[in-house]
Amino acid sequence: DQQVKQNSPSLSVQEGRISILNCDYTNSMFDYFLWYKKYPAEGPTFLISISSIKDKNEDGRFTVFLNKSAKHLSLHIVPSQPGDSAVYFCAASANNFNKFYFGSGTKLNVKP
């Protein structure tokens, strides 16, 4: 049973608009969340993270929002660029878990 879920396998947005990628989790013990970005034929690379003591973390065009009561996090990309086209994975962990739990990924396509 997947503890981290990304229910949208794909998302298509126009260049310059906002991209919103969603992630839900079931384990209330999770207190650290990350987003990874993956291009074809490459390994995932770290994008942004958030700990449960915050509800928002921003890094340039990327912002992650955490709603603990809903067990939901989202990644906002503003403005979206064609180079953002990739698969995005969310991941979660907790103290002493010694592992990350990953979602199934959302493929983002940003159209010029």
The residue ranges that bind another protein (CB under 8 A) are: 2, 4, 6, 9, 31-32, 34, 36, 41-46, 49, 51, 53, 89, 91, 93-100, 102-105
Which of 4/13 has CB closer to another protein? Answer: 4
Which of 17/54 has CB closer to another protein? Answer: 54
Minimum distance from residue 62 beta carbon to another protein (Å): 14
Minimum distance from residue 111 beta carbon to another protein (Å): 23
List the one residue out of 83, 112, 103 whose CA is nearest residue 27: 103
List the one residue out of 73, 59, 57, 56 whose CA is nearest residue 21: 73
**3 state SS for 30-71:** CCEEEEEEECCCCCCEEEEEEECCCCEEEECCEEEEEECCCC
Minimum distance from residue 15 beta carbon to another protein (Å): 27
Which of 2/81 has CB closer to another protein? Answer: 2
Minimum distance from residue 31 beta carbon to another protein (Å): 7
Q: Rounded CA gap, 1 and 11, in Å?
A: 24
Which of 61/97 has CB closer to another protein? Answer: 97
Kindly list the distances between the CA atom of residue 2 and the CA atoms of 6, 8, 58, 78, 90, in Å, as whole numbers in the listed order. Answer: 10, 15, 27, 29, 12
